[in-house]
Structure formats: C-alpha cells, structure tokens
Structure 1
C-alpha cells in the first residue's frame, strides 16, 4: 500500500471514532429532508450563493468585493500566530519573559513585539488567493479572510487532533464539503485515484469516502517542519482554494435546507447576506441549527425571511455559539461602502 494511502486510512480510522460519538451528528435524515442525504448533486448550481445583486448598505462592510488584494491588507497583532512562530522556532524570543509565550500558547507582549513584522506579513500573504477564490468560486473575500482570522489567525497547520488548516476544518466538515460539491469530488479523485472516480458522484457519498476525505484534509494542512516557517507557504496558499470550495459546498447545502423548510428556491426565501450568514451558522454549528431556526421563523405567509427574525429563533447553547460565530465573522472591520464599488 502506498504511503499516502496508509496515511489517509490511518487519518480516517483515528478520527472516525470521534465522528461516531459526536453529539452534533445528524442522525434523523428526515428532519432535514431526504434530499440532503440522498441526492446532493441536484443543487450543484446554487445561484443564491452567487447573487450579489442585492447587498444592503448595512452589510457592505463584509460583502464588498475588493478590486485588488491590497484592499484586504491588515496590520493586527495576533497572539496565537505569534505564539506559534515562537514555539516552532521561527522567531527567537528567548530573551523575553517566559520565552515570549504564555502557558496558553499565546505570545506575551514581548513575544508580540519580537514577531511583529512576520505577523504583519503572514496575515496578508494569502490575500491574492482569497481574492481569486472570490472571483472563481464566489465566496465573499472579506468574509473568507475574517473567517481565517477567527479560526486560525492565519496559521495554516493542524490545530489539536481534529482541526486542519486555515479554516480549522474537521473530518465531518471535509466529508460534508465533498458530499455537496461534485467539482471538488472530481478534483480530489484525480489526486487519490490518478484519474476518474471509481464511482459516480451520486453513488459514492452515501457514506464516507475515507481516501477523498483524507486527501482534502491533507490539502488543507500545510505543515512542513523543515520549511522556513515550519509550514509550506505554497501549499498554504493553494489551500485557500480548497477552503473556498468547502465553504461553497456548505452554502449549497444551506440553500437546500432553506428549500426544505419553505418549499421555495432559496433565492425567493432569503437574500444574499442571509444565505451566507446561514452558511456560517451551518459551518460552525451544523445543519440542524440552521433547519430549526428557519423552521421556527417561517410561515406560509412569509414573503422573505430576514436575518433578524432567523437569528432571534436560534435556540440552545450549541446553536447560540454558532450565532456568536456568525456575528464575529460579519462584524464591521473594514469601512467599505457602496460608493467603493
């Protein structure tokens, strides 16, 4: 057996136990509607996720489409990113108190100062790829950058046992992404099987394909101990594409959930900002939280579901964490206005 295949099999087997015992696994397929599990390919094209024609002024700060990568540039201190640079030996902070890092793994004030310029570089190193993903796949670039900031602080390796890459994607998240994205499925097959997929897209994802899931997680993880920054910069940049495809997969699934609740194509039920906020809720807290909030918000007389109404119907501590996540990602950071377009 090839080394890569062994690696992906071990990856799958080691994490599958967590998947099986996870409290957030959706066991009742009928709750969300059989379409979600039986035929995800039916919504391979989801215009709602791409329809930027109706962006309210109040949402423009996170849905503005930058004209160039420089508009995404930031200069922030990031304690986790600085801590990783020190702990991995990229930056020497041995003359700092506690060697520059708190016991939590975050850099202290001295560590932040030591890593300042490199942190400013790394938080902007993916901006070209983020903008390209926005153009080619349709994921809002500012939202994507803010998600990376929140999830990983731009450190593109594995976090703990169960999170991979810049977006901290999990095994369940990777499998779900492939399930809802035939383009991603076929691309991964060319890597894993050196050619076409052995099964058609519809047939394969009745369950996990551990090799494809492992390959996606591997594409997201840029770990490289022998590299200059202890991660492979080129692979990290390329991982933005796979993260973008994964987010679009979740938007497609979310669009289907909207249809399952309302009986309407998602573009008639929610606007562009709302579909992406629901996607972020799905990404963080799972489809059941999305379904329940929509189900509590919708009535047959509803014209269009507003995010304010949906958010007010997010219930339960787990789903509330997901709502907080959405608010963090979409909070105003940039000052873009419609006049900037």
Structure 2
C-alpha cells in the first residue's frame, strides 16, 4: 500500500499483531472504535507533507497531495492522489525557463509541484488481529506415495489471541459433519475412488467467531491386492509436492501405471537426459564448425540446412551434449512453476531443436515465443504478471490485471518479457508460459462444461489440452471443446481432435510428440559415458 493520504479521506493501514497479543489490552487504548470480526479500527492524527500540483500559465490548483514520507512525490504518489491523466500531463511538462529567471510563467505549459508545508491529517488504522490457525498433517503416510498402512491425518487448531481458546473443531466428509472438542484430533481417512473426495474443516473460538472454511481434496485408494494405500492431498501446503498441474485443476494423476513418462517429474537432472538425433540442430552445428565433417563427401549438410546422414553420424556426440545443456534450467523452472520438466524439454525440442535463435522475426528463442504467447503469459500467470507490472506501473495500475492496462503499458511489458529471450531467464519464461497455458486451459474447460476440470475430464487429457493450447492458442481449443460439449460427448483429447479447425489440425501431431515421446529407450553406453563427462 502506498503512503498517500488525501485531505478529506481516511487511509487504511494494515497492522498485523504478533501471536499472543491480547485484544483486551488493545481495547483499553484511547481512540479505538468497535471491533468488527477480527479487525479493530483506530483513529489517529499524523503530520503529512502537503504538496500541490498547479498550472504554470495561471497558477490554478489541479491536485492536492498529502504524503506520509518526507521525500518529493513519486509518480506513483501523483497517480494515486490525482489520477493517471494528471500524471501523464505532469511527466510530459516541458521545462519553464521563465520560472528559472524570475519572469511571468503565463506562456509555460503543463504543471509544476510546490511544497505547502506540514498539515495534520486524520487517518484510520486498521488493526488486523491474528486469525485462528487450523491445519491438517499427515501422520503415517507422505502425500503422493504408496503406504503399507491406512493413512491417518491429524487435525490441529490453535487460537493465537491471548485469553481465548478453541471451542470446537468441525470436519465435513462426504456430506457427514463431525464435531470435536479437542483442539488436536487424529482420524483415519475413508477410502475414495481415483478422483478423490473433498475434506472440509473449521474451528470455533471462545472469542466468538470461527475460522475460515478450509477445503482440501484428498485421495485414498487401496491397491488391487489390498496390501497398500495411495495417499494424495491437494491444498496450499502440499501443492509443490503434488503432481504437476494437479492442484491447479484439482485433478489427480492415475496410479495404475498409465501416466505417460513425460508427465512424471524427474528426481534429478540426469533423468532429463536425452540422446536423440536432431538433424537441424546438427546442421547448425556443422555450419558453426562445432561438428567436423571433413570426412563427409557431401559436407555433412544439405540445402535445407539439415544434417545429412554423414553429418548426423559425425556430430552425434555434440548433438547429445547440446540437447542436454539446458537440463538444469529446465528442471529448476519446472519445479518453480510445478509443470512437467519433460514436457517443457519436449516443447523446446519440437520448437527449436534447442537452437537458441530463429529465422522468423516473430518467433523468439528456444520456445519460438510470440507476442501472443507473451500476452497469454501476462493474462493467465497472475504472479508473473504482478512481478513484472508492479515495479513499472505500481500496485493500483496492476490491480485490475493485464487486460486493463493501456496499449502502451502492455507493449512495454511484452518487450520486457521478450528481452529475457537469449538470457539465463529464458527457460524460466517458457515454463511460466506453459503454466499460463495450463491455467487458461482449465478455465476453458470450466467455462464450457460448467464443471471443474476434475469433474469433466482426466489429468492426462488436461495436459494434452494445455499443450495444444500452447501450440494453437485458445481460439482453436475453445471452439473444439465447445463442439465436444455441444455434441454431448465425453471431454477427452481424443474427442477434441476431430473438432479442431483445419488450421489447427497439426496440434494432434504436436501433442503426440510432446506427451507420448518415449523416455525409456535404452541408451548406448558410449552415450552415457560421454554425457557424464559434462559433470566431471
């Protein structure tokens, strides 16, 4: 929140009190208003710095600013107090040389700032009391794993306000509600099907209120022989441990071994290694002299720029080195955004064969990123958008999202993203774009089917739709999904493909190469030994 206070307005200041703070102690202080929920409002008077923006030509007042800080007003201060049009006029004001030499400023255009002095201002502080803490903890089985015993969780509740305590803890499972008087309680989770079930819980306090309603999805399936249990939790605390995209869509991956290897997150960089033949990558390396082809009668390269069979054989080890050079960055970015690392690597392989530049001026870098792709990133990856937007335009301008920015602001943000192509942040950008596509795809499914993705399709199908959306854009995917639903067909990638517009038909082959590309082919010992030299 910015430190700007308007003359006749109150400014809200959030103050978070540490656990153990007594409400009764606070209530005894003068100036406190009546509490509402866990918020207490307190009036106070401060001495603010009073500035004014006025017109050069006639000195008429345009805007008052009352600031808590002692520095000159910042552009964000002016934007908050006076609005964006005034900020634009002030920023574009030319120098008024008449003012410097003491002459009349009637011929000068634009605005000037003047300091008035210190002014008392009444504001309201909003004191936010700490909330009830309620959490569940797995006791005997880690999420995402098979266990030999039936999973047990512990529900814990804690009242941080001194002088108050937890009254009851309540749990709702499958429409059945249970109340506990203990603040900590362990219980077995009922069995579910593959799709899982919802667990809701909350706590009441002697303070007179209750916590928010917490809602997590869990899965507890038993193996065919009844000897083990597979336990999963989807919720804020476990999202980074969940399968890629699972928390985004509230969808669990299959546990029957049918999950494509590309959707299995590798445990190490070494598991990302590949040893594929990429003819255009080899061709580039021949042209740069990284592959020696003096023994190739055809020079190792054909007219299209791809390596010939001789060039392919001569440069196989160099191609293996090159295609694995980004593996660490790919895995780091995949873990950061919780997207499948192998899918990200396959997208790079399909788009550019790991060559960092493109001949197309509209497709940039390893992922052939376009302006449309950047728009999708900034529209659908909110955290990334705010990280890019706020430093340039402030919280107020960014609060309504990318679509509400001006065309100039959008263009500046797109340029900032595209400027990362070719830097060590490039792979991070591509991972963020893939997450944006997954988010947009989930919303497409929900808008069209009127169901959450978990009720409309499967985990694997959602990733196929997300990859196709990355490739074709939401127009093609939205139309295809609408046709599936209109025909009352089950929503699956196999069902979507026949409804793809003609211009988007290549998405079928694209998804096949990204998702179903084999990762478990035997790798020759000579390739493994060569790859390991990279780590020596």
Common topology (TM > 0.5): yes
Structure 1 residue runs of 5 or longer lacking an equivalent are 1-44, 223-234, 337-341
Alignment match, 2:277:
77
Displacement of 1:307 in angstroms is: 2.9
Computed over aligned residues only, the root mean square deviation of the Cα atoms, in angstroms, reads 2.8
Deviations 1:19-40 (A, max 9, x none): xxxxxxxxxxxxxxxxxxxxxx
Structure 2 counterpart SS, 1:282: helix
Alignment match, 2:511:
326
Deviations 1:156-185 (A, max 9, x none): 223422211111111111122111112222
**Is 2:354 the partner of 1:149?**
no
Aligned match of 2:334 in 134, 157, 176? 134
Structure with higher RCO (Cα < 8 A, 6+ apart): 1
**Is 2:520 the partner of 1:335?**
yes
When Rg is computed on C-alpha atoms for both structures, the one with the higher figure is 2
Change (3 A) 1:147 1:203: closer
**Is 2:378 the partner of 1:178?**
yes
Contact 1:146–1:329 (Cα < 8 Å) also in 2: yes
Aligned mates of 1:51, 1:334 — CA distance in 2? 27
**Is 2:457 the partner of 1:244?**
no
Displacement of 1:97 in angstroms is: 4.0
**Is 2:239 the partner of 1:57?**
no
Alignment match, 1:307:
493
Alignment match, 1:219:
420
Displacement of 1:299 in angstroms is: 6.0
Alignment match, 2:464:
277
Structure 2 counterpart SS, 1:74: coil
Displacement of 1:314 in angstroms is: 2.5
Displacement of 1:138 in angstroms is: 1.2
Displacement of 1:274 in angstroms is: 1.5
Deviations 1:57-79 (A, max 9, x none): 33332211211111111112211
Alignment match, 2:230:
none
TM-score, normalised by the number of residues in structure 2: 0.47
Alignment match, 2:152:
none
Structure 2 counterpart SS, 1:163: coil
Structure 2 residue runs of 5 or longer lacking an equivalent are 1-238, 240-244, 522-536
Alignment match, 1:13:
none
Displacement of 1:129 in angstroms is: 2.0
Displacement of 1:242 in angstroms is: 0.9
Displacement of 1:189 in angstroms is: 3.9
Change (3 A) 1:89 1:52: farther
Contact 2:253–2:259 (Cα < 8 Å) also in 1: no
Alignment match, 2:324:
124
For residues 34-49 of structure 1, the aligned pairs below 5 Å read 49=248
**Is 2:398 the partner of 1:200?**
yes
Alignment match, 1:22:
none
Change (3 A) 1:91 1:308: closer
Aligned mates of 1:112, 1:190 — CA distance in 2? 48
Aligned mates of 1:202, 1:170 — CA distance in 2? 24
Aligned mates of 1:334, 1:242 — CA distance in 2? 24
